[in-house]
Chain A
Amino acid sequence: MSELPLAGVRVCDLTWVIAGPTATRILADFGAEVIRVEHGQAADPIRFGRPIAGERPTLNNSGFFNYFNRNKKSVLLNVRHPLGMEVLHRLIAVSDVVIENFSSGVLESWGLDYTAMRGINPGVIYCSISGFGHTGRDRHFTTWGPTAQALSGLTLMSGLPGKPPAGWGYSYLDHTAGYYAAIAVMMALHHRNRTGEGQAIDIAQVETGMVLTGPAVLDFTVNGRSWLREGMPPGNRAWEPRIAPHNTYPCAGEDRWVAVAVRSDAEWEAMRRAMGEPGWAADARFAANAGRLAHEDELDARIAEWTRERDAEAVMETLQAAGVPAGVCQTAGDRVERDPQLRARGWWTAMPHPELGESGFDGVAPRLSRTPGTNRTASPLMGEHTFEVMTGTLGMSAEEYAELEAMGVFM
């Protein structure tokens, strides 16, 4: 087995729900030792999150939790017990990174702001993900992914004109805030490798969405144009660059769609031939991009007539063979069971889990040639590694462990 690029990095993982666990999933995939600190009295709600195996949630049978927490360890620690807090300090003392995604102010209320943490571990990297960050007048406001998506502008930028916002059908910004946190931690580790200096990182989830709207903001500050104007958002038609055809088209079967994006007149010509040179497509109005944009409704309706009779996969293959960007709107089932690209690249795997059986996982992106990230274990059971971490990592004697356990520290 090849070595992992983050081997030797220890992460004290105080995160829960999705954004924080996404960040630590990435660090764990690349080989960091991620120790989830969990609390019996206030369990991560995702441990109850659907989908689950079986009828009732058990803390350990959530497929949702399993997906975001592979390759990690779990310890139970009662931080409301003074000795539990002391144990947490000992864990921080031997960790390279402490990461949390509580509302801003929570860790401070535990007596663990960055100054306090630095007192325990001078080189520590402390990364916090909150809704609005640790500064600013609304720092006590809270978010879940959908709240942050709505505020950032991303929800409004998704939808058909004249309809309510379609937004994002999942917490895109929980993923994305987690990505920025993983990136930030790795940058800080590089800096620490060079200088020995740790630091604090403050991530506001709403801002991780706002940075993904840059050109739209500039269109307003430079040109005075807002996405609230008539005709916006443009559905699946192109915003910039303005090209046509550029849309999703219905295919044979129930709720089957193909996305097509024609970037140039040459690609249009290729598509026209791939469609079998139907008479309507020879119309001079469609020969150049400007004409296709001016007659986009008619163009889209004609293309839909062609796609509607065909399987989405067949449309994609036909157009791709002609060099035209096209892709099926794939479900999760399509991706796991049919997608020949993901299959050929060995993307899917399964790892055993006591309550979920052979549980499915995707691979580690991107692929590093010398030290690729790996899937090693499914998600940990609640507190599975408490004894191991206390006696191994923290060097407690079996007697001390038993004593603390009897006092209710590990619950």
Chain B
Amino acid sequence: MSGPLTGLRVLELCGPMGQYAGKLLADMGADVVKVEPPDGGEARRVGPFVDDVPGPNRSLSFWYGNTNKRSVVLDFGEDGDRETWRRLVSAADIVIEDRRPGELDASGMGYRALGAANAGLIWCAITPFGQDGPWAAFAATDLVSLALGGAMMMNGYDPEDAPGAPPIRGHGDQGYATGCHYAVQGILAALLWRDRTGEGQFIDCSVHEAVSSTTEVALPYWFTQRVNVIRQTGRHAAASRTERWLQRAADGRWTLIFGVGRDNASWKRIKAWFQSKGFGGQFDEPRFDDPAARQPGRGSPEAAEIFAELERFIAAHPAEEVYRGGQERRQAWGVVRSPEENLADPHWEDRRFWVEVEGEGREGQPVRMPGAPYRFSATPWALRRPAPKLGEHTAEVLREWLGVET
């Protein structure tokens, strides 16, 4: 079994902003060739590094964002290498690039010059703001994209937790990831069109538009009521303040409590659990039997009492126990984990979620990292090779794609 994109040739000219799009295609079987400058460029200079020692093959963000790709080094300062790029484009089904708008066209290496000769070519340009418009030449990083796209104004703190706190950016280059999720959606829609007609096309992917389309309730509030939502600690931004969701457990960790006993069956289970631990004796009183009285946000004294008792209960138990106990009773509760804490959760072992890679500085010592975001029954995700070393496949790819011996 191999991935659903097996047989597709993808040329990727991307740094930190766009390379995750190439990974998504490569992990599903496409032959993704990453074209890099002789020094590897910015993508290989982003840490963390193996043992904190920088080096083109030691970037862990590169290890993660470039699985299943091959690396070809071309020096665009050289005529011959620019010509090689053009020939690689002519042999490709898909090109993904994240250069500034017009940059490749200016040297005859962009879609304008090369698209006509390859009618089936799908060319996806990922840029911070799109190919045109007054901000097309503006510079951006992930932080700037999350600011302008509206994500940050929804994340932050209640005044009592951090007075005057700024809007907060969630880490992990989520703006870049969101841009890449949209880029791949566009590439696949174009691919389905090409399946029917043989026609390729140009895709203009603006990270700004992608992030702006990923802000859930913010736009509906504006469109419907002309209201901007306000930031709250660890929970949804809303038109007005809502109950807290984060509660601190006995071990100092944070639990996330998303509703309690919304229906009578789950309330019965929660009540029995609390009372078995010596909490919530008063819950037997009939005034707690009405589901409407138990919901926060309606100002009922019962809801306030339930949440006060819940806070005492959680403060007396470890976070993981609260999480699992709640889930066993059909509550969509969570625990706030650091990413690596999932390594110890056997559920992900059961699903074989983690994959192992080796690389410079860890030869013969495989280390774990996240694997598939989806399970396909017929054409599964697979780690076929780790991220490439700089220029590792230049000769191999030029031979396979162009029939050129170097």
Contact = CB atoms under 8 A, between A and B. Distances in A.
Contact of A138 (B162, B239, B327): B327
A139 B375 CA distance: 14
Given A201-B374, A235-B168, A259-B152, A150 B367 contact: no
Contacts of A341: 129-130, 133-136, 208
A165 B338 CA distance: 11
A289 interface: no
Interface residues of A, number: 155
A109 interface: no
Contacts of B206: 345, 365-367
B209 A221 contact: no
- Give the top 7 A-B pairs by smallest Cβ distance, nearest first: A63-B224, A153-B339, A360-B223, A214-B64, A169-B154, A366-B205, A220-B340
- The interface centre, meaning the residue of B193, B258, B339, B351 with most chain A CB atoms within 10 A of its CB, is B339
Contacts of A331: 150, 153, 218, 222, 228
Given A183-B181, A215-B64, A135 B351 contact: yes
A131 B378 CA distance: 22
Contacts of B192: 5-6, 9, 186, 189-190, 193
A349 B134 CA distance: 19
B102 interface: no
Interface stretch (A48-56, A73-81, A275-283): A48-56
Contact of A368 (B145, B149, B186, B338): B186
A331 B239 CA distance: 13
A126 B174 CA distance: 28
A175 B45 CA distance: 30
Contacts of B232: 169
- The interface centre, meaning the residue of A138, A257, A329, A365 with most chain B CB atoms within 10 A of its CB, is A365
Interface string A131-172: 111011111011110111111111111111001111111111
Contact of B220 (A64, A157, A248, A250): A64
Nearest to A224: B340
Interface in A219-255: 219-223, 225-228, 233-236, 238-242, 246-250
Contacts of B155: 158, 166-169
A182 interface: yes
Interface stretch (A35-43, A85-93, A319-327, A399-407): A319-327
B217 interface: yes
B221 interface: yes
A100 to B, nearest CB: 15
A143 B371 CA distance: 20
A200 interface: yes
A183 B377 contact: no
A284 interface: no
Interface residues of B, number: 148
18 contacts: A63-B221, A66-B220, A153-B337, A167-B233, A167-B336, A172-B151, A172-B174, A175-B216, A179-B185, A213-B370, A217-B340, A221-B343, A222-B367, A248-B166, A327-B145, A360-B224, A366-B206, A367-B130
B388 interface: no
Nearest to A360: B223
Nearest to B234: A167
A376 B18 CA distance: 30
Nearest to B339: A153
A66 B167 CA distance: 27
B216 A171 contact: yes
Contacts of A222: 48, 50-51, 60, 361-362, 367
Contacts of A329: 147-148, 152-153, 166-167
A344 interface: yes
Interface stretch (B194-202, B271-279, B307-315): B194-202
Interface of B: 4-5, 24, 28, 45-48, 50-52, 60-61, 63-65, 124, 129-130, 132-136, 138-141, 143-157, 161-162, 164-172, 174, 177-178, 181-186, 188-193, 195-196, 199, 201-206, 208-210, 212-229, 231-237, 239, 245-246, 248, 254, 256, 258, 327, 330, 332-343, 346-348, 350-351, 353, 361-362, 367-379
Contacts of B199: 370
A148 B374 contact: no
A175 B214 contact: yes
A294 interface: no
A102 interface: no
B216 to A, nearest CB: 4
Given A207-B353, A342-B209, 14 more contacts: A51-B239, A114-B377, A137-B347, A170-B237, A193-B196, A199-B378, A216-B172, A217-B368, A220-B343, A240-B47, A258-B147, A332-B215, A365-B206, A368-B190
B23 to A, nearest CB: 9
B314 to A, nearest CB: 14
B212 A362 contact: yes
A183 B25 CA distance: 10
A314 B111 CA distance: 35
Given A207-B372, A362-B219, A330 B153 contact: yes
B229 A223 contact: no
Contacts of A159: 168
A363 interface: yes
Contact of A18 (B50, B216, B254): B216
Interface string A196-214: 0111111110011011111
B334 A146 contact: yes
Given A167-B155, A184-B376, A365 B213 contact: yes
